Amino acid sequence: MLATVGTDKLCKVWDITAGASADGLSFMPAIVSQRDMKQGDLFSVQMYADIPWVLAAGGQKGELAIWDTEEDERIRKHFKDSMPDKARQ
């Protein structure tokens, strides 16, 4: 799982292993989900070390926006084998 942000105002969650080549030496990342964080252009994103499914993004409005990705059904389904038991339900 990789999270990115940009001037498109979106925080995107990617699966970086989704498109493995036949030889397994290269990958083509795939977007799993995205969210408008309501902070204008986004400049930074960080996953919390203690709660790795929670993201904080900072942007143009000078505030942090928090996204608990466990609440996103697409992310839950895609990464269900990697998530804690409580999130798999």
Spatial separation of the C-alpha atoms in residues 89 and 81, rounded to whole Å: 11
Tens of pLDDT, residues 26-44: 778 899 999 999 999 999 9
User: Domain boundaries in the chain?
Assistant: 2-88
Close Cβ partners of 22 (under 8 Å, ≥ 6 residues apart):
none
**Arithmetic mean of pLDDT, 72-89:** 76
**Arithmetic mean of pLDDT, 57-73:** 96
pTM value is 0.82
Spatial separation of the C-alpha atoms in residues 40 and 52, rounded to whole Å: 24
